[in-house]
């Protein structure tokens, strides 16, 4: 298992991007978090098999209404998450929404 941090810039806030990210991650059995940053970017932490993470990253470009200008991936120390959650204003939104 591998954990990556993904920082995304572009038109990725207020277009349903986080929900799309969560849907893709859940479909691929990836755990982690996604949240909007105050600078207009989106930050994702994702944990899964490296091949699954590559597929996940490529699928992010298919989120409707979002326009990804730049996507930067950084390996981080492995992290364990119970599920894939949206973090909104410091609190998690369940994947069951």
pLDDT band at 28 (very low <50, low <70, confident <90, very high): very high
Residue 86's SS3 state is: strand
Whether residue 48 lies inside any domain: the answer is yes
Is 28 a member of any domain? yes
Domain count, the chain: 1
- Please say if 39 is a catalytic residue: no
| Confidence band for 97, pLDDT divided at 50, 70 and 90 | very low
Task: Tell me, yes or no, whether 15 lies in a domain.
Answer: yes
pLDDT band of residue 71 (cuts 50, 70, 90) is very high
pLDDT above 50 for 74: yes
User: Is residue 97 domain-resident?
Assistant: no
pTM, to two decimals: 0.90
Domain that holds residue 19: 2-90
* Residue 14: per-residue pLDDT: 93
Mean pLDDT of 71-88: 95
Catalytic residue, chosen from 11, 29, 36, 79, is 36
Measured distance CA(35)–CA(37) in Å, rounded: 6
Active-site pick, 18, 72, 79, 89: 18
Residue 11 has pLDDT above 70, yes or no: yes
Task: Flag whether 96 is in a domain.
Answer: no
pLDDT score, position 90: 58
Put the strands of the sheet holding 31-36 in their side by side order: 67-76, 2-11, 42-48, 31-36, 84-88, 91-93
Tell me whether residue 80 is in a domain. Answer: yes
- Is 34 part of a structural domain of the chain? yes
18 is known as an active-site residue: yes
95 occurs within a structural domain:
no
What is the domain-level CATH number for residue 30?
3.30.70.100
């Amino acid at each position: 298992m591998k954990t990556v941090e993904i920082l995304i810039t572009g038109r990725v806030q207020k277009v349903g991007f986080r929900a799309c990210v969560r849907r893709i991650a859940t479909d691929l059995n990836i755990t982690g978090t996604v949240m909007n940053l105050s600078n207009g970017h989106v930050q994702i932490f994702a944990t899964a098999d490296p091949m699954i993470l590559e597929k996940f990253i490529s699928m992010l470009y298919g989120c409707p209404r979002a326009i990804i200008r730049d996507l930067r991936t950084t390996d981080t120390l492995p992290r364990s998450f119970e599920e894939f959650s949206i973090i909104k204003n410091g609190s998690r939104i369940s994947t069951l929404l």
